[in-house]
Structure 1
């Protein structure tokens, strides 16, 4: 059940925490207090640390009050160079040491009993793993919700491509609240008037010519992650960006890795758990819901929403975020029996709904919770489905003369993104009011790509598309392979692997893969519903997870390996499993110009012919984690 709200709250704001290099980080401290007098209690209590780049007041303030009432000291801190904290901001680079110093400072306060736990979502999850690489002596437990594992592999970049969400973030939540923007109303006004959709449509941007030129330190890190792809680049070896490289030395403390099937960190969350459950002695847990990125927050009681994009899951999907974290910390920091019945792995099996249309127009995909002792579950076996020349997807291996299929990839006409594992593809709504009349912090954000499950057909509000609108499968540059309608229910749980055997007439190009569940036509959805479950990309010069670029020879067949993000989904009988192969997914990923030129800011374009093979010698395939029930 968890600790009850028996205390008042005493707050001390903007307490300076000095780091090893003399920078002061502004920190708000919330302490349990006598409910009558409001004075802090004398007893020392375990502490929870939440470090954020988004400002430590407002919603974050209510976090502090919520836990303080239940007997925790709570420290909420502005990250270096953000809001009230000193220093220069370069994304994630200083977070390991700053986090370590704050944990040890907090443990040394008389009101702390020497135990420090960490909390936070997204950026607040990154900074937890970052400080854990330094193994602070007084770190005792972590609840890492939706965070990274390896920034080069599948977060900043993805198998060689760049996730454009970070450019969107730099122009909105990042740059809009940069020190210079907060201190200079002219700079904030310039950023407030940027429509990120225009930046993406007119891109790539160039150094000194974009809105980021007004905040040079943000332009620096943005271009670093957009243009540096080799593993040898110092950026990718930082303990603030690549936690996998530092797993062995990470703190060995009880940890929950929580995430969601349509989150932008799905793979990283599962990878962190799978690796550290083997490496560490302390208890490690994995908790995966069907949600998108983020959570609804105080005072709403649910963990995110009972829907993702155009999918509905019902109330079964709801979890109480605050109470779940409280049960965990009560168990490991207070010694209460509040977490002992928690399964090592708990996940939501999507897809057991009736496929009807909800009152708000969503497809009722449904689902239910399930548990396992490990990840992936022990009763999962990978089953290979092969692409065939007639457009089928089957477990039967292709013929020796299976052939190949070609298409033209024009980087000026990329395949549009329709939902999926997206976050931060946002822009501020255009407003006529100035910043005094309508401050940036109060302006609504417009979602550019959508997040979660979507019917894979363009519509009027789909970014970077023109009429006539319709199914992506009708595009000439999308190859579609599908099974016949399934004779019986099939469940998948775990990581997915795709191997595309292909050639190109360019020195560099991309290949993409998307796993789709096809609902048959019904009264509720007369055209059926092509539901995206997971996707990935591979940039040819980094194929095979290369550390350094290696361009391809035109006309030579290569294997392009991809790992669409893990999922848990039930395909009902009568549905089809579909694999789409193409060469772009914009703006989820930056578009390859096919020239072999510099990453991201290439000024030249080349239309290329890409050829996907589906023969016995070159079998394009998807390996699905089928659960034996």
Structure 2
């Protein structure tokens, strides 16, 4: 659903919103009964518009699958044709205020109750046998969770793919907003699709560059874009986790009442992995034992779009055929199992399936935690406080230093240097090898901290969530960090693995802002890295980069400690970030070592 920050660069979002739809499978039969603009009444008198697809020869009711989309129903045509060809009635439903539906579009807040009404209306239709399911990815994945939390009696299953987590990964990530928010809000402005405007990555890059170079307040971004947005301004009023964001997502009590089987799907490089896994983790925490036993999770080697149609190459990485799951067929197998008492999908050999890149094989685990067998600890260190350069970096050691000079970098928020590696035409083009690009790290020499492990003596399989605990002091009340992990291969090339963003004022909690006391050394726990799984090759090293977050893609923090959305260049303060690594301050990186597969023990 939204743009990606990878290795310091911004990636255009066309394909992240579903450009692979043209590659959807063709239906097994052309004999589909089609009905355009079916009107679905809601409890408040608003009528939604849907396009219905059903098997032409079907004489009795079938299970009904529906998708709630803000992108207009016609974009779902290939998937709808396929599902109808497999014996299901499919409704592509325009959400309130979009496409041919009545009402006013309020992103994400409206889908819960509207979807409940759609589910129960469908269950009463003669073409439906009373069993209702949902489908969709990204916003459509979020819609499924929103509807499920309302507990519609006839909703039998959901298959949320790359599900957006409001307040988790969109429109803020760790309480830091995206500039992409305005690109997406323009896409869904009005009733019609603004897909050509949305898809022009070079245009959006130029808009963001103009705002970035002006050092204008984030709250003025919608005006800079030329699309003043009350929705954008409303989001700005909630800069941290609170009841507003909580209201979008299921509560613990609602998770506890869910009983339906669920298939969740995300990817290593899926921007909405934080949201998708937050739903999964909360359901595992609060759901009943029977419901949790019926929740399956798949984490593939994909980006956001790849969760829909996996590709053989993504971001410069190439994968074996094992990664190329036939997603539509898997969905049908799931629906057949749950809705038609068919066989359990063969792919689902245990509750969690994750792809081990490098091994090029799927591994299985009974739980997400069980994907990790152990944790390997590497302590940060440097020679004489010199860790600012890729070629003269600090070290990640097996034991903490008894005494060592702290490392530091100085960050000036007026620095526009990132433009030299972020603002390039190829960044906005499909096929850009962003996972293999290390120019951002190289060109930021002296403005960051870099640490390497020793050369790995054997292949090392990692799977799970990295964690970094760093003892840091600032001389200003706030700043933003990014912590990134790479594999540095024996030939010097790199593979980006994962990263976490952190705003210092939220170092203790995303629900409370506490400004930094200048000069005070505190432990910063970077414990929200996305899940990753990869075989690190013998001869490789791990690289940890700790740097300021200074990007076209994100709200700028000018370090003054004021309201970040209101700050501009006139508020800018240089900050010195000092990282300690001694006996009293054992800064460390915790690496998740993969467990063997629960299937065949491999």
* Residues 1:84 and 2:100 aligned together: yes
Find the aligned partners of 2:371 and 2:300 in 1 and give their Cα distance.
20
Please name the residue that 1:471 is paired with: 442
Name the residue aligned to 1:37: none
Q: How big is the shift at 1:591? A: 2.6
Change (3 A) 1:243 1:583: farther
**1:75 pairs with 91, 98, 102, which one?**
91
- C-alpha displacement at 1:189, in angstroms? 8.3
Structure 1 counterpart of 2:473, from 456, 478, 503: 503
Corresponding residue for 1:389?
Answer: 382
1:166 matched residue in structure 2: 181
Matched residue pairs, number?
551
Larger fraction in helix: 2
Q: 1:32-80 CA distances to partner (integer Å, 9 max, x unpaired)?
A: 112xxxxxx33000011111111111x4112111111211010101111
The reply on whether 1:372 has 2:387 as its aligned counterpart is no
Shift of 1:398: 2.0
**Residue of structure 2 equivalent to 1:607:** 574
Further displaced range: 408-417 or 95-104: 408-417
CA shift digits 1:203-246 (9 cap, x unpaired):
34665774588655xx12223334522333x531223xx34666
Match of 2:267 in 1: 260
- Per the alignment, residue 410 of structure 1 pairs with 412
Q: Which residue of 1 aligns with 2:386?
A: none
The 3-state SS of whatever aligns with 1:453 is helix
After TM superposition, list the pairs within 5 Å mapping 1:187-336 onto structure 2: 195-203=203-211, 204=216, 210-211=222-223, 215-216=227-228, 219-232=229-242, 234-239=243-248, 242-243=249-250, 248-249=255-256, 251-277=258-284, 279-280=287-288, 281-282=290-291, 283-295=294-306, 303-336=309-342
Aligned to 1:568: 533
TM-fit CA distance, 1:158: 2.1
Q: How far apart, CA to CA, are the structure 1 residues paired with 2:404 and 2:397? A: 14
Distance 1:309-1:188 versus aligned 2 partners, 3 A rule: closer
Give the equivalent residue in structure 2 for 1:134: 150
Q: How much has 1:291 moved relative to structure 2?
A: 1.2
- Do the aligned partners of 1:262 and 1:308 also contact (CA within 8 Å) in 2? no
> Structure 1's 320 and 378: CA in aligned 2 closer, same or farther, altered over 3 A?
closer
1:484 paired residue number: 454
Match runs of 1:174-185 below 5 Å: 174-175=188-189, 178-179=190-191
Inter-partner Cα distance in structure 1 for 2:95 and 2:202: 25
**Alpha-carbon distance between aligned partners in 1 of 2:556 and 2:219, rounded to the nearest angstrom:** 18
Q: Do 2:480 and 2:504's aligned partners in 1 also have CA atoms closer than 8 Å? A: yes
Alpha carbons 1:156, 1:163 under 8 Å: kept? yes
**Separation in structure 1 between the aligned mates of residue 438 and residue 252 of structure 2, nearest angstrom:** 37
Tell me: CA distance 1:614–1:211, structure 2 relative to 1, closer, same or farther (3 Å).
Answer: same
Gaps of 5+ in 2: 1-26, 384-392, 597-602
1-structure distance, mates of 2:256, 2:512: 26
Q: Is the 8 A contact 1:393 1:578 kept in 2?
A: no
**Greater mean alpha carbon deviation, residues 550-559 or residues 261-270:** 261-270
**Equivalent residue, structure 1, for 2:18:** none
Q: Is the 8 A contact 1:408 1:609 kept in 2?
A: yes
Q: Do 1:47 and 1:112's aligned partners in 2 also have CA atoms closer than 8 Å?
A: yes
2:436 alignment partner, SS class = coil
Map of 2:505 onto structure 1: 541
Q: What do the CA deviations read for 1:449-473 (whole angstroms, capped 9, x no partner)?
A: 9686222114xxxxxxxxxxx725x
Structure 1 residue corresponding to 2:487, chosen from 503, 517, 520: 517
